[in-house]
Amino acid sequence: MATLADLAEEPAVQLEVRGPPVPIIERYYTKHYAVDVNGHAREDFCVLQHSNRVCVVCLAPSHVLLSEGEILSVDYQIGKVDRRKNQVSGKRKRGGQKLTPRSPLCLITLKDGKQFILYSCVKAFLLETNENLITNPNLLLSKPLGEGYIAIVMSKLEDADKVCSQLLSEEQYKDALRDSTTGLKFWKVGSRKVFAVILSELERLDKGKGKRKGKEIIRIEDSDSDDV
């Protein structure tokens, strides 16, 4: 089984790959981020993009799952779609399942019964799921940017330059985390633009009564087509 280190040094895409070791990430991959995906607070993802169009979808360090309990199972069957049955062929890896930024990749069930859906975050084709998560689901928590990656996807050639341009850079991501409780945030998830003014955790006194007002969230959404 080849690793992403091998993949990083070869232009041809390998079918069977593993999550990259952290030094390989820093050397060969560019980090992009999607935050509050599908409107769910703290459900943040990291997309590692290589120049050969391969992207590795992972949990971001700020994803709420990393502060939850132990994972019971990872299920790549979403409704009638089984991501594990994805098949690609040829050097150009044709035949992969089409994904939009809001396509679900898998369902996570925690030992306490809570469930989370993990998303693609990019417009691409599925290359493979992470079979290691089936037998060792908590790799998702212990090594989210390595062996615990969610899936490997690849964009069309004509989309290669723009597939991650709609995500946050690492600096923008850090700014978003700093501004997560107050101020103005702007981000994109796929072609969906979300402007959110979050006025929260502000100590507002009601005319000296010492009462604290709750959160006020304003969202303006402009939806475009997400067809691959």
Q: Which tops the pLDDT comparison, 173 or 94?
A: 173
> How confident is the prediction for the chain on average, in pLDDT?
76
> How far apart are the C-alpha atoms of 45 and 198, rounded to whole Å?
20
- Alpha helix positions (H), 39-160: 132-135, 139-142
What's the Cα-to-Cα distance from 128 to each of 33, 123, 191, rounded to whole Å? 20, 15, 24
The token pair at 116 is 């989370």
Task: Tell me the pLDDT tens digit for each residue of 34-48.
Answer: 999 999 999 999 999
Confidence label for 19 from pLDDT (cuts 50, 70 and 90): low
Confidence label for 5 from pLDDT (cuts 50, 70 and 90): low
171: pLDDT strictly greater than 80: yes
Q: Give the model's pLDDT for residue 132.
A: 96
Q: Give the model's pLDDT for residue 18.
A: 53
Q: Among 170, 61, 58, which residue's Cα sits nearest to residue 105?
A: 58
